[in-house]
Amino acid sequence: MASGLESTDRDVLRRIHRIQAVTVCWMILEAGVSLWAAWRARSPALLAFGGDSAFELASAAVVFWRFRSNLADEDAERKAARIAGILLLALALFVVATSSVTLLGYSEPKLSYVGIAILVAAAVLMPWLAREKQRLSSVARSPALRADAAESMLCAYLSLIALLGLIAHAWFGVAWADPIAALVITPLIVWEAREAMRGKACGCC
């Protein structure tokens, strides 16, 4: 029985390592492209999305570190969950700051086809990553992995919201749609940050 449990633990660890490795590779690409597009287009929604990508990269790296050796490491779990929650709060502040700059009239966003392309790609990939992490967080009973799953799902939500904002601005000339789109997601980010720091490992508890 013990060897069977150890084999199961090793399998879960391999799955976690694999999903986190995919996340890290994708987030490096996503963050680089979206931040470059945000700089070119002066788009707060793209900047918020690029910032989210950078935070998601950090969160994925933290969780990868958390599961570097075994599942049952309570001290590492607490540290990783706390860091993931702090990263989510930092993301919320970042989104508010970048969106406020545009709403106050300090910048005028431009259309970015590269930005739209990376948003579409993220909207397709991130929900799958989030679902895989949510399943694994329940198996491993890991608040840190659950918070990272929340980061991935928030990335998917933010990509859709940012995409709608960019399209509304490009097609209908609604300049405020871009920053407002970025602000819509902020309350959910704060809620998930609180859940992570409280140590909740599954969406049902």
* pLDDT string in tens for the chain (205-residue length): 444 445 567 788 888 889 989 999 999 999 999 999 888 887 777 877 888 788 788 888 888 887 775 655 667 667 777 787 787 788 788 778 877 776 776 556 677 888 889 999 999 999 999 999 999 888 888 877 888 888 788 888 888 887 887 777 777 777 677 677 667 777 877 876 777 677 554 444 3
Domain 2-198 fold is: Alpha-lytic protease prodomain-like (1.20.1510)
* 141 DSSP 8-state letter: T
Q: In the numeric block, which tokens belong to residue 58?
A: 């950090």
pLDDT of residue 175: 67
pLDDT of residue 196: 67
CB 127 within 8 A of CB 153: yes
Cα distance between residue 39 and residue 109, in whole Å:
10
In the numeric block, the tokens 């075994």 are attached to 70
